[in-house]
Amino acid sequence: MLETKKPFAAGLALALLTATGCYDFDAAFDDCVQAGQCQPTTCDPLAVDVPDDLFHDANCDGIDGTPGDAIFVDPAVGQDANDGTKDAPLKRLSVAMREAANKGKAIYLAQGIYDEADLRLERAVSIYGGYSGKEDGWKRGKDNITQIGGSHTTGFTVNGLMDAGVAIAWVRIRSADSSVSGTPSIGLRVVDSSDVRLSHVEVEAGKGAQGRDGDSRAPNTQVGADGGVGQDGSATTPSGGPQGPSSCGTGSHAGGMGGVGGISFGAAPGMGTAGEPGPPDGGGDGGTPGTNKLDSACGTTLCVCDGEPGGDGQEGAPGDRGRNGNPGNGTGLLEGSTWVARSGTDGEAGAFGKGGGGGGGGGFCEAPGSTQSRGGGGGGGGAGGCPGVGAKGGESGGASIAMLLIRGHVNMESCTLKTSGGGQGGAGGRGGDGSPGGPGGAGGKGIVAEKSSGSDVYRATGGKGGKGGKGGDGGPGGHGGNGAGGPSVGIWCDSLESSSVTLTSTPRFEVKDPGAPGAGPGPAAAPGLQTNHHQCTGFP
């Protein structure tokens, strides 16, 4: 069988991968020999044999690599109580990483799936996949599929290995679809590590989780307080109706007091007064007072004198709608050592409705013979309605990131990066309506006074007090901002300055669609970011 030396393997892989990104090794070797780029040779028992991309047994020991330099792992027949030799392999990768680090060895992985929670490489151990396993003599080839991860939302992490020279070759790394709203699925994460060499590594991230919808708010049912009823005309000064009091928290939204009804006292008549306005900046105007009359030219037999009614108070202005929340961001951000969503923010509460103006006091009338009427007091203005509550913002969808670098530096040769798509953003909630303002109070009645003198009759009627104005309705709460769609990114670097990628050959990317934004009533959000690489140096 024709074999090749190690130095020619790297050159062959580089030439072919630059052109194709992946290749058939058997055909590649033949082409290389025919082109004169690879020189045929036999194996050398004294050669240093490190697993290579052509699966070449350089030192004639029967496998690609050196058994004495490795911990062997076989998920089919291995046992974690074994010593990790090729005849007694371990079963779990986590156990193998600990043993290999303690003994200063590499790890040779048999085909199969190594799916364990929170798999982390935190000591300088190289990992080589593609072996057939114990039952088939640890042959190595591209059809021996070796998979790390699969059922967890982070497939594999390399952490804290600066200048480690760690190699990871001929493995597939998988992360599962995320099911916790707004959270990501990340295939391979490289944190605070440099000189990490990836060769023939395929990384596939699962789908980011859908963002949760923001809660909508029910209408506020606490109606503004009613204005008080004005007093009927009386011997004393008929007072106006009391204002509808503030009844839903702090804020100036009480109604205005009703005006005082008119009454005369001989030569010093008491005039009716205007109703008080509601609070400044939007409160209803107070009603005008009724006109007082002094009728001294009344004819004989029947003399009728009517005081003018007070004017009605004006309605208070409605409260403004609360500000809507801001939409989510389709990029998200990095916090600690992972990606987090930037979701839609909550809507703000609406404003109080303004109080209605008080009704004006009714005027009096005085007929001859000191026949005196008394005007009714104006009704109090109703209090403004209570504000609606702002709705919750929608959560942005989770990201699908094949490889995340946080202060990480990797060298890549013949690698493939796949994503399954970002999660859909949640819809922002609908803000609650404000409550109605309180009705204004009714005005008091005017008093009728009648006096006879012989055949003459003198009748004076006081004016009715004006009705208080209705309080303005409370403003509705703002809608929550919609959540953005989740990103779908092949390689994500935390920044151009702190992370980088060195390419021996251009990776192959299969980046599926990002998540769509939520579709609530608030401000529209964007779909998620979709790109092969984000904030990474080293790409053409």
Average pLDDT, the chain: 87
**Banded pLDDT at 272 (limits 50, 70, 90):** low
Q: Distance between CA atoms of 129 and 149, rounded to whole angstroms?
A: 14
Q: What is the pLDDT of residue 267?
A: 39
Q: Give the torsion through C-alpha atoms of 32, 38, 44, 49, to 10 deg.
A: -70
- 265 pLDDT more than 70: no
Tell me the pLDDT tens digit for each residue of 356-366.
Answer: 888 888 887 77
- 18 pLDDT more than 60: no
Residue scoring higher pLDDT (514 or 272): 514
Residue scoring higher pLDDT (213 or 43): 213
**Banded pLDDT at 38 (limits 50, 70, 90):** very low
> Cβ neighbours of residue 516 under 8 Å, at least 6 residues apart?
397, 424, 425, 485, 527
The total of other beta-carbon atoms located within 10 Å of residue 11's CB is 12
Q: Distance between CA atoms of 79 and 73, rounded to whole angstroms?
A: 9
DSSP 8-state secondary structure symbol assigned to residue 138: T
Query: Please, is 62 exposed, middle or buried when counting C-beta atoms within 10 Å of its C-beta (0-12, 13-18, 19+)?
Result: exposed
- 6 pLDDT more than 90: no
Q: What is the pLDDT of residue 13?
A: 42
DSSP 8-state secondary structure symbol assigned to residue 35: T
| Region for residue 167 given its phi and psi (left: phi exceeds 0; alpha: psi -120 to 50; beta: otherwise) | beta
Query: Please, is 1 exposed, middle or buried when counting C-beta atoms within 10 Å of its C-beta (0-12, 13-18, 19+)?
Result: exposed
Q: Distance between CA atoms of 195 and 410, rounded to whole angstroms?
A: 6
CA 229 to chain centre: 49
Mean pLDDT, residues 70-88 = 97
Q: What is the pLDDT of residue 444?
A: 87
**Banded pLDDT at 254 (limits 50, 70, 90):** confident
Query: Please, is 320 exposed, middle or buried when counting C-beta atoms within 10 Å of its C-beta (0-12, 13-18, 19+)?
Result: middle
- 523 pLDDT more than 90: yes
Q: Percent helix, strand, coil in the chain (nearest 5)?
A: 10, 25, 65
Q: Distance between CA atoms of 85 and 69, rounded to whole angstroms?
A: 10
Please provide the DSSP assignment of 416-482 as one string.
EEE---PPPPPPPPPPPPPPPPPPPPPPPPPBEEEEEETTEEEEEEPPPPPPPPPPPPPPPPPPPPP
The total of other beta-carbon atoms located within 10 Å of residue 259's CB is 40
> Cβ neighbours of residue 89 under 8 Å, at least 6 residues apart?
72, 73, 74, 77, 78, 82, 110, 133, 134
Q: Is there a contact between 508 and 403 (Cβ–Cβ < 8 Å)?
A: no
Q: Distance between CA atoms of 311 and 180, rounded to whole angstroms?
A: 62
Residue scoring higher pLDDT (411 or 234): 411
- 33 pLDDT more than 90: no
Cα Rg of the chain, angstroms: 43
Q: Distance between CA atoms of 125 and 509, rounded to whole angstroms?
A: 27
Q: What is the pTM of this model?
A: 0.82
Question: What φ, ψ does residue 229 adopt, rounded to 5°?
Answer: -80, 135
Tell me the pLDDT tens digit for each residue of 380-406.
Answer: 888 889 999 999 999 999 999 999 999
**Banded pLDDT at 7 (limits 50, 70, 90):** very low
**73 forms bridges with which residues in the sheet?**
90, 109
Residue scoring higher pLDDT (145 or 244): 145
Q: What is the pLDDT of residue 2?
A: 32
**493 forms bridges with which residues in the sheet?**
405
Q: Give the torsion through C-alpha atoms of 121, 122, 126, 131, to 10 deg.
A: -30
Q: State what percent of residues in the chain have pLDDT above 90.
A: 61
- 30 pLDDT more than 70: no
**Banded pLDDT at 239 (limits 50, 70, 90):** confident
- 342 pLDDT more than 90: yes
Task: Please tell me the least confidently modeled range out of 24-38, 281-295, 421-435, 479-493.
Answer: 24-38
